Structure 1
């Protein structure tokens, strides 16, 4: 059975968007973001920077999924499953497909770099 386009978008967004959302929440919790002291507020660490990087990662993820139909189908097939079941299946899939894992990790790297440069905790690695 094929999922509707809306259901597919929701599944991919739910499975891959967690890193972007976590980054946005992390930046929202940093009180020094509005500080006047440059030592506490590194350059290029604004909400606009985060949004720009996150949108680039999102666009790259979309392009990757469109050019890798098998990976796209896997993430689409997660629609409607419980969060813990999704986590287990994603972990298993990425461990069974190290090339996919490396490519998706590479796509997310700009978000990790931004978080590291701006003094927040690094993003969790893709298992």
Structure 2
């Protein structure tokens, strides 16, 4: 059955919101004034490439796991502290989804470690 453009937009909006939230958390440094590291392949373009790959993988995961997609979509509009608590509670009850998303996110963790970048203050994976 072909997807109408309004259905496609409706399906894409929650994904765009989740992707934007993840990107914001991933790109925000945990500490201000960190010294830049001259490691190879640590440019803004490298970060954008790794982030794009992770975002595409998260999108595919959420589309193929509607329960997780519905959960993240339902976080829209909640205060950040309530989101963090909800994410922890959700993943306590759904450890496989947590493991899956941590694996999808691993290339960004590896990039940050290799390039001397700190983790965001409040990741959206309930860590």
* TM-score normalised according to structure 1 size: 0.74
Corresponding residue to 2:23 among 20, 24, 34: 20
Unaligned runs of 5+ in 1: 33-39
Tell me whether 103-112 or 86-95 shows the greater mean CA deviation: 86-95
How many residue pairs get matched? 117
* TM-score normalised according to structure 2 size: 0.74
Provide the rounded CA distance (Å) in 1 between the counterparts of 2:75 and 2:14.
6
Q: In the TM superposition, what whole-angstrom CA distance separates every residue of 1:24-66 from its partner, at most 9, and x where no partner exists?
A: 233x95553xxxxxxx411100000000000111000000000
Question: Which aligned segments of 4 or more residues in structure 1 are displaced greater than 6 angstroms?
Answer: 4-8
Task: Give 1:83's aligned residue.
Answer: 80
The Cα RMSD (Å) is 2.8
Corresponding residue to 2:49 among 44, 47, 52: 52
Counterpart contact for 1:20–1:54, Cα < 8 Å: yes
Provide the rounded CA distance (Å) in 1 between the counterparts of 2:22 and 2:70.
20
Task: Give 1:35's aligned residue.
Answer: none
Task: Give 2:4's aligned residue.
Answer: none
